[in-house]
Amino acid sequence: MKMTQKTKPRVLLESEKTLFQRINFNFISQYIGPVIFLMIAGISLVLAQWLWFNKRDDSFSVGYPAPETYRVVSHMRYDDQDAVKNLRAMVSDSVVGVTVRDVSAKSRLQKWLEALNDTSPNENHSQYSSYLLKLPDALLNAITNLNNTDKSRILNLAYQVGSSYIDHLEAGSIMSSSSEAASSLWSEINRQIDSVSDANFVYQILSGLGNMNLKFDDELTQLAKRAAADDVPELDRRFEPGDVIVAKGEIITPQKALLLRLQGYTEDVFPIAEIYVVIAFVLAFPLWLDILRRGAGEKKTTWWAIVIVIITAWICETIAAHLGVAGAGTLPAVTFAYLCIPDYIAFCISIIASISGIFIVTGLAISKTILIATISVVSVTLGFYLLRNLESKRQVWHRVTLMSFILVCTRVMVRMFQGSLSLEQIEFWKEVLMFFVFDILSTQIALFVLGAIEEYIGVLSIITLREVSYPSSPLLRELQRNAPGTYQHCLTIATLIEAVGIKLGMNISLLRAGAYYHDIGKLRRPQFFVENQGGGENHHDVMSPMLSSLTIIAHVKDGLEMAWEAKLPKRIRDFIAEHHGTTCTRYFYNKAIAMGEKIEREDFCYPGPAPRSRETALLMIVDSVEAAARAQNIREVQPEAIRKIVNQVVQSKINENQLEHVNFTFNDLTCIKETLTSVLISMYHTRKVKKIEKRL
């Protein structure tokens, strides 16, 4: 037996374990968690809707009596298959049969008459041949009671007249009615028989035997039935609002059930189709969301924020639909999206959330689908133009109220177009009021929830960013009073970063707020920072390089502590922690080396972390460029010198691996450098005037 040596498994290093655990945690928290949460929420909402809303007295079931009288809500045209089916059955049943001429008519007539001639009065008529059963009993008894001579004479006359009559028919005569056939038979009898009594007897015998030259054809009969049924046209019916679809107590057929579904009535059936739609939508969610964010160049928007927007749309649309104001649930989700998600992504997410809510929550009723889809598109479009660049909560409510009024008008126009609403109806004013109130209240609740959870889902609404960026906010006011130089520095950084952010299509409100607070930690010891010394004594001249470095680096830690105390959002705190990354205080490090001190480079470096978002990375670059330009200490900086400074700073950040966690492209870096160069040249301009020369 061949032995093989077991390979000892490689033990992961501690650093590798940490990285592996971090990757797993990030993947679960950022991807798997939101997907599972969205699927559970969607399925729970569908089941709750079925158990709560559909299990009511007004929900219908196929094959059961209608619990109430269902009427048409909006204009509708459809093919009435049930009525067409019944009409075709009636027309088919009206075709009794198809008869054809029988070429053996003479021989059959002879057999009939021979059978009559062979009968006797003592025989039981039930034993007669099938030929005799065609005659009435009274006529058959009269024939059998004749003596043999009269019987033979009458039957011979009947055979002669019958043969002539058959010859006449075979010559091409077509009888269009039974009266015409009887008249033709009488003419033949009168031509051959003079006795009235014999003529009557022969007529009764021949007419009793029926159409002697005709017989039924089963195959042609079936073809005729089918042809007659096919000639019945499709029945195109038109329903007007108020028309009865199904009366109370009437059995609901599949055709009636289809009409009720199209009109938006609820059906008491397990929502398996809606559950399948939820599962398919949620499984595709990570793929299309990643594509959407890549197309927008946005990586910081959390999946949790998008999940909350979608769930908000589903919940509000469900409640609104069952309150009788379908379409009123779109405004809260749209407002939520535009306040905390970048504009392009907010537009797409709002559309997807609203439209998915139609199929997942409110069913597939055509009238509701058209209504909610129209209101969704109008709401998302209005949000794109009205819910951006807001300055205050008051402005938000002004815009939301205006949007709600426009959506009310949109709903009224759609309902009137569908023919399901009249301005004279009292229900019209009730719906208008209910729609408007629901929009306002649900949006207010959504904004309250947003304020409570935005810190936990990793987003910042425009309102929050505006509020923390007001110059009158406590920390900024203290910065103005106690560290005016740092405050002016923050304003300069805000001006620079906004110019670059506009070019890159980034969140300007977030960049501005981050710029205002990134150096807030300098409030603890403002005199140790050169911009607050006012050209006086520099405390670092008498301090050791190590102590000076620790004092400078401490402003990051101090800033985070102050931000925690002021309850600033995490996204703002990220700017404080990451705007220096893990770079070093190079001046004091070089000073320590020049003084011959034995030092470690890490002792002069900021704790970090390195920037993990485009916004904090951009702040690092802008802050370093502004400091380098200010350090030139010259009255006039030439454009080439500024361009050189900008290029050196950007390249140094790349070399120090400060941008490795940020998805800046080469085009982005080029745009950053060109924009900063242009703005700095404008900031460092001088007034060149021509010297006045006296004329001689």
Q: In whole angstroms, what is the distance from residue 339 CA to residue 430 CA?
A: 31
For domain 464-683, the question of CATH label 1.20.120 is answered with no
Least confident of 230-234, 538-542, 581-585: 230-234
- List 79's β-bridge partners, or say none: 236
Contacts of 676 (CB under 8 A, 6+ apart): 496, 499, 500, 621, 622, 625, 646
- The CB-side HSE value for 462 (13 A sphere, CA atoms) comes to 22
**What pLDDT sits at residue 1?**
37
Confidence of residue 64 (pLDDT cuts 50, 70, 90): confident
Token pair in block for residue 196: 């009235």
pLDDT of residue 126: 44
Q: Which of the residue ranges 42-56, 460-474, 647-661 would you say has the lowest mean pLDDT?
A: 42-56
Which pLDDT band, with edges at 50, 70 and 90, does 176 fall under? very low
Domain ranges within the chain, ordered by starting residue: 18-55+268-459, 99-216, 464-683
Residue 342 dihedral angles phi and psi, to the nearest 5° = -50, 150
Reported as half-sphere exposure (CB side, CA atoms, 13 A), residue 403 has a value of: 31
pLDDT of residue 16: 41
67-92: string of b/e by CB count within 10 Å (b at 16+)? beebbbbbebeeeeeeebeeebeebb
Rounded to 5 degrees, what are φ and ψ at 60?
-110, 160
pLDDT, mean of residues 118-140: 55
- In this predicted structure, which of 118-127, 176-185, 351-360 has the lowest mean pLDDT? 118-127
Fill in the amino acid letter for 619: L
The sign of the CA dihedral 178, 181, 187, 193 is negative
Report d(CA 558, CA 96) in Å as an integer: 102
pLDDT over 80 (residue 299): no
- Joined together, the tokens standing for residue 419 give 């023919």
Among the residue ranges 145-154, 183-192, 365-374, the one predicted with the least confidence is 365-374
Which residue is listed with tokens 């017989």? 215
Q: What is the 3-state secondary structure (H, E, C) of 38-58?
A: HHHHHHHHHHHHHHHHHCCCC
pLDDT digits (tens, 9 = 90+) for 420-444: 555 556 667 787 889 999 999 999 9
Q: At residue 461, does pLDDT exceed 70?
A: yes
Q: 371-423 pLDDT, tens per residue?
A: 888 898 999 999 999 987 777 788 888 999 999 999 999 988 887 776 655 55
The pairing of strands 214-216 and 76-79 is unpaired
- Residue 688: the pLDDT is 61
Give the C-alpha separation, 233 to 224, whole Å. Answer: 16
CA 665 to chain centre: 33
- When pLDDT is cut at 50, 70 and 90, the band that residue 538 belongs to is confident
What share of the chain in percent tops pLDDT 90?
A: 22
In total, the chain counts a number of residues equal to 696
Among 198, 196, 207, which Cα is nearest to 151's?
198
Long-range CB contacts (within 8 A, 24+) of 279-283: 279/39, 279/43, 281/42, 281/356, 281/360, 282/35, 282/38, 282/39, 282/42, 283/35
CA distances from 375 to 223, 260, 414, 417 (A): 54, 23, 9, 14
pTM > 0.85: yes or no: no
| Sign of the alpha-carbon torsion through 432, 437, 442, 447 | positive
What totals of helices (H) and strands (E) does the chain contain, helices first? Answer: 27, 6
- Alpha helices in 231-271, H assignment, sequence order: 254-262
Q: What is the pLDDT of residue 465?
A: 86
Q: Which two tokens stand for residue 451?
A: 């304020």
Indicate the average pLDDT of the chain. 78
